[in-house]
Structure 1
Amino acid sequence: MGMLRAIPVAARAVFIAGAASMAGACAPPADPPPDDSAGADINPVRVVVVAMWERGADEGDEPGEFQLWKARRGLSERFALPQGDHDLYCNRESQILGMVTGVGTAKSAATTMAVGLDPRFDLTRAYWLVAGVAGIDPEDASIGSAVWSAYLVDGDLGYELDAREIPPDWDTGFFAIGSTSPTDPHKREPRGEVFLVNEGLRDWAFELTKDLTLPDDPALAAARAAYVNHPNALRPPFVARGGHIAAMTFWHGALKNAWANDYVRYWSDGRTDFFTSAMEDTGTYRAIDYLHRAGRVDANRFMVLRAGSNYTMPPPGVSAADYLIRESEGYSGMIASLESLYLVGSAVIDELLGNWPHYAEHVPGATPD
Structure 2
Amino acid sequence: MKLTTSLLSLALAAVGQAYSSGSASASATSFYPVKTAGLNETVYEELEIYKPQVFIINMFSYEAEPFLEEFKLVHNVSIPGLSPIYPEIHCNHNYSLCEVITGEGEINAATTITALSLNPTFDLTDTYFLIAGIAGISPLEGTLGDVTFARFAVQILEYEVDAREMPSNWSTGYFSYGTTNSTQYPTEIYGTEVFEVNENLRDRALELAQSVDLLNGTKANEEFRIKYDYAPANRTPAAIACDTLTSDNYWFGKDFDEAFANYTDLLTNGTGTYCTTQQEDNATLEALMRAAQYGLVDFSRIVVMRSASDFTYADFYANETVYFFTEVSQGGSKVAVENLVVAGKPFIEDVLYNWDLYENGTVYAPSNYIGDFFGSLEDTTYREWGFDVSA
What TM-score range do you get, normalising by the shorter chain?
0.7 to 0.9
Q: In the TM superposition, what is the alpha-carbon distance from 1:289 to its structure 2 partner?
A: 0.3
Q: Give the aligned residue type for 2:280.
A: E
Distance in 2, matches of 1:39 and 1:252, equals 51
> Which residue, 48, 55, 80 being the options, matches 2:55?
48
CA distance in 1, matches of 2:365, 2:322: 45
2:139 aligned partner: 138
- Secondary structure at 1:300 match in 2: coil
Counterpart of 1:334 in structure 2 is 333
CA distance in 2, matches of 1:239, 1:265: 21
Of the structure 1 ranges 105-114 and 183-192, higher mean CA displacement relative to structure 2 is found in: 183-192
**Partner AA of 1:342 in structure 2:** V
Contact 1:301/1:363 (8 A) holds in 2: no
Equivalent residue for 1:77? 75
- 1:339-354 matched pairs, under 5 angstroms: 339-354=338-353
How far does residue 83 in structure 1 lie from its aligned partner after superposition?
1.4
How far residue 285 of structure 1 moved from its aligned partner, in angstroms, is 0.2
Answer whether contact 1:134 1:308 (CA < 8 A) is retained. Answer: yes
Contact 1:203 1:365 in 2 (8 A): no
How many angstroms does 1:94 deviate by? 5.3
The equivalent residue for 2:364 is 365
Give the secondary-structure state (helix, strand or coil) at the position aligned to 1:261. helix
Kindly tell me the number of residue pairs found equivalent between the two proteins: 319
Give the 3-state SS of the residue equivalent to 1:234 in structure 2: coil
Q: 1:276 to 1:182 in 2, by over 3 A?
A: same
Q: Aligned pair in 2 of structure 1 residues 186, 129: CA closer, same or farther (>3 Å)? A: closer
Q: 1:188, CA displacement in angstroms?
A: 5.8
Deviations 1:35-74 (A, max 9, x none): xx997957311111000011xxxxxxxxx10001111111
What residue is the counterpart of 1:32 in the other structure?
A: none
Which position in structure 2 is the counterpart of 1:256?
256
Residues 1:238 and 2:238 are matched in the alignment: yes
Range that drifts further, 41-50 or 238-247:
41-50
Tell me, yes or no, if the aligned pair for 2:134 and 2:278 is still in contact at 8 Å.
yes
- Mapped to 1, the partners of 2:347 and 2:333 lie a distance apart of 22
Structure 1 residues 350, 121: closer, same or farther in 2, change over 3 A?
same
| 2:316 aligned residue | 316
Alpha-carbon contact 2:134-2:333 (below 8 Å) kept: yes
User: Greater strand percent: which structure?
Assistant: 2
How far residue 76 of structure 1 moved from its aligned partner, in angstroms, is 1.5
Superimposed CA distance per residue, residues 121-175 of structure 1 (whole angstroms, 9 cap, x where no aligned partner): 00000000000000011111110000000110001x2222212222222211222
> Is contact 1:252-1:320 (8 Å) kept?
no
Instruction: Tell me how far apart the structure 2 counterparts of residues 136 and 196 of structure 1 sit (CA, whole Å).
Output: 20
Cα deviation digits, residues 259-299 of structure 1 (max 9, x gap): 12111111111112211010000000000000001211111
Per the alignment, residue 194 of structure 2 pairs with 194
The answer as to whether partners of 1:42 and 1:95 remain within 8 angstroms in 2 is no
Tell me, in whole angstroms, the C-alpha distance in 1 between the residues paired with 2:152 and 2:46: 38
Residue in structure 2 matched with residue 275 of structure 1 by the alignment: 275
Worse overlay, 274-283 or 259-268: 259-268
Quote how far apart the aligned CAs of 1:304 are: 0.5
- How large is the Cα RMSD of the aligned pairs? 2.2
**CA distance in structure 1 between the aligned counterparts of 2:266 and 2:360, rounded to whole angstroms:** 35
1:186 Cα deviation after fit: 6.7
Work out the CA distance in 2 between the residues paired with 1:147 and 1:139: 14
Could you say which residue in structure 1 is the equivalent of 2:207? 207
Instruction: Give me the TM-score of the superposition, normalised by structure 1.
Output: 0.81
Structure 1 spans left out of the alignment, 5+ residues: 1-36, 55-63
Kept in 1: contact 2:300–2:365 (CA 8 A)? no
CA shift in 2, pair 1:367/1:300, >3 Å: closer
Q: SS in structure 1 opposite 2:323?
A: helix
CA contact (8 A) 1:204 1:364 kept: no
Specify the SS of the correspondent of 2:351. Answer: helix
Query: What is the CA–CA distance in structure 1 between the aligned matches of 2:307 and 2:366, rounded to whole Å?
Result: 28
Partner SS for 1:231: coil
Partners of 2:55 and 2:186 lie apart in 1 by 38
Q: Which residue of 1 aligns with 2:266?
A: 266
Amino acid at match of 2:295: G
Taking only the aligned residue pairs, the percentage that are identical comes to 29
- Structure 1 residue runs of 4+, over 6 Å off? 37-40
Listed one character per residue, the Cα deviations across residues 55-103 of structure 1 (whole Å, up to 9, x for unaligned) are: xxxxxxxxx1000111111111111234111221111425111100111
Contact 1:46 1:96 in 2 (8 A): yes
Report SS of the residue matched to 1:66. helix
Please state whether the residue corresponding to 1:204 is helix, strand or coil.
Answer: helix
Give the whole-Å Cα distance in 2 for the aligned partners of 1:154 and 1:254.
19
